[in-house]
Chain A
């Protein structure tokens, strides 16, 4: 029993970075753009999130505030990188796969270089501490699993319903879905498809930045070159796994994080379970799931990856 609770209590915070980043990627893809640069934006977010509290926020009464300044910087930089990406793939119609890989290398490279320049070696920060919710956190089993985390975890779990609402209930969500599924139709009824794509990329980028900042500020409480460790790519895979639906994506993020927590717990008990295998799992699952759900693909953004220009026939 304790073992299971431990895994769950560990797995829930693990899932947060994946969850936030994949919901961001979901908005990109719903609008018709896949951003493989997610990993790079996360690296940048992790670095910027770490930088403010590291440089100015050591101790003192204002320390907490600098954590949140770091988060804002990470999100702003993420949104900018999303817009930058949009310039390449929406305005200049660059192939999205290649541009995404470019953005990934750019983000990871710049974050690492700046880190060595401004920080030097491994340094830890106090980060954002856990904030158990009074009373609720005392509930047996559920308390440690759900209510004993840092504030970003709680925020992260408000995101899926919020993303669902935005996507399916607001005019902007309607425009996003139409732009990704049939841009020509959206255009003919007055939707500014490319503007919507830029907006979605900015939102997606901001969320990827936030996911990165979560990793450095809440999970690792430090920055290193490998801090993202492929999570950006897993986030992209999760979007396919969850068929572009916020709640399914959340399920996927939890599933993989629990698998990871399990693997750590097993290792902790001296049983050697290959880490690489756990990392591989999401990809394998995505391939299997996609192979068996072809008709579901038609429910998502059917124009995914295709640039739109009214006057160019495709």
Chain B
């Protein structure tokens, strides 16, 4: 099952804790005979999922760890796809031999989410009915739908029960969805910098991003494939997003009021503050690798996310869970503030579920979940280490 095979590219020098060359794979998980039924009521007759794996599945098939990516992530979580790559996978500092998700011990899986634009079926994929890209004909998807796809992938990989599901931000929402939708398929979940219910503040920022895309003339009702894509709209959406990923403190430290390329104010509207050029750079580079329609669908999925729907309270809702939880929040994260994670931790504890809640001190804001690798590594290594050494008790609910 290992994906650590050499590619055809010339050898590259890897660190000892790198997974080295990896390859992405694609698998069709749903078809006309067995379509994917979505929460909105629509069905998808063809769903392909792109995924990568690192490490090897053990004999008992009980060392699987699923990594769920955030909004802009993809299946390429660790290692190098080719010798020409400038950067390794998006969570390479956490996945590898001896790292937090130790590939010597665990079989790590990461797949691109449903609705994505990195190999998994999404609005830019070809609609089998029309043989053209879906665009806005793609049905509205939810976090639950994404997790249903992941569960199917896990089945295909021959894993009955995952050791853990881990993810930050929107990936964290997926981990929570796993815990309540497939409680018997996972021994532990590790939601990081996330929430059980997207707040009106987060929905507000998402809507500004979507409006920027809608109002780009190139968007053309979502029908822009093969033409000029709505890059300006998507770039603005990403700029707004990046503001929410930072913190007051981290902006002070990173940019201050520093000017770029200028010594004095120009008294014009060129990009002169460093923070401006940072946001523009982030916005522009994002358009090179991301599809605007996917941005619309994924932010909508996040906005709909609310684990309390259909339940009188969060406590009642979390009763569905039957696994261990390690909740990690970051002190300066104002997009998914620690108090929301804490509330969830309390709802789990109320149900007698094994839950640890920790708030890591950090100035990085929401981005901390990608940057505080050292603190996260110590926490995750300790948690997974014990979990893996302990026989699966199955029942993590109190017997009281």
Chain A bound to chain B: no
